[in-house]
């Protein structure tokens, strides 16, 4: 009976983590759509829904603590609980960054910025792909997706450098667009951070499956 309860708790943890994954996928997709289409209503919705993500993080953190203290898992189960407790932190930060992007969209003074999205649009597309792949990697315990996410991070970093250079040029040559350029640099940085958090999720997925985190054996 105790083992059955333990298995149910592990299943509940996994289900809750997947639910949080779907919440942040929806949040970042909404933030990107709001940015590209200047959809202020959607931007507000993304911001308002951030508390749902925060609440889910606290729920999962409680499940992790309960499992560690009451069930004292070992081996692969311990790795799963440890990985989950780390992954939800990165997921929560992605939710925050989706809300931050949406907040900037609301503050943009005109629609003119859309013509300058270029590399930022590509960053958004790659970041969403990395996030989806990192969550799929966890769901399927797929190390090939872990490697794909890590490799794609280089693409996002290169696009970030191009976006910064482009906006720096705009700051220098178009004084009237200074605020817009600064806002877009901030948005680019948020997408770069979302990509980094996706890599972290992938790294903890590898740990969950193998016991290795960034090439170091932990459990």
In-domain check, residue 196: yes
How many structural domains compose the chain? 1
What does R_g of the chain's alpha carbons equal in angstroms? 19
- Alpha carbons 66 and 64: distance in angstroms, whole number: 5
Q: Give per-residue pLDDT as tens, 141-154.
A: 999 999 999 999 99
Range of the domain at 82: 2-212
In-domain check, residue 217: no
Average pLDDT, the chain: 90
Bridge partners of residue 212, in order along the sequence: 217
In-domain check, residue 71: yes
Q: Give per-residue pLDDT as tens, 5-48.
A: 778 888 899 999 999 999 999 999 999 999 999 999 999 999 99
Yes or no: say if 28 and 94 are a contact pair by the CB < 8 Å rule: yes
In-domain check, residue 98: yes
Question: Residue 103 sits in a domain of what CATH number?
Answer: 1.20.58.220
DSSP state of 101: H
Q: Give per-residue pLDDT as tens, 179-204.
A: 788 888 899 999 999 999 999 999 99
In-domain check, residue 208: yes
The closest alpha carbon to 158, from 123, 184, 117, 201, belongs to 123
Yes or no: say if 108 and 183 are a contact pair by the CB < 8 Å rule: yes
- The pairing of beta strand 216-217 with beta strand 212-213: antiparallel
**Among 11-15, 27-31, 87-91, 169-173, whose mean pLDDT is lowest?**
169-173
In-domain check, residue 55: yes
DSSP state of 39: -
In-domain check, residue 165: yes
């Amino acid at each position: 009976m105790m083992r059955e309860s333990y298995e149910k708790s592990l299943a509940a943890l996994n289900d809750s983590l997947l639910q949080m994954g779907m919440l942040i996928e929806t949040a970042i997709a909404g933030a990107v759509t709001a940015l590209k289409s200047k959809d202020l209503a959607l931007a507000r919705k993304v911001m308002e829904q951030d508390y749902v993500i925060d609440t889910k993080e606290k729920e999962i953190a409680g499940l992790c603590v309960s499992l560690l203290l009451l069930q004292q898992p070992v081996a692969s189960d311990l790795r799963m609980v440890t990985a989950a407790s780390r992954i939800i932190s990165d997921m929560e930060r992605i939710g925050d960054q989706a809300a931050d992007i949406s907040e900037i969209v609301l503050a943009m003074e005109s629609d003119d910025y859309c013509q300058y999205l270029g590399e930022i649009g590509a960053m958004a597309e790659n970041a969403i792909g990395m996030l989806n792949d990192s969550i799929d990697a966890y769901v399927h315990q797929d190390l090939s997706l872990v490697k794909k996410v890590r490799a794609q991070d280089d693409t996002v970093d290169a696009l970030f450098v191009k976006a910064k250079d482009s906006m720096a040029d705009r700051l220098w040559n178009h004084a009237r667009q200074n605020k817009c350029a600064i806002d877009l640099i901030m948005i680019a940085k948020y997408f770069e951070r979302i990509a980094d958090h996706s890599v972290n999720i992938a790294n903890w997925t590898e740990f969950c499956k193998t016991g290795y985190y960034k090439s170091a054996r932990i459990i």
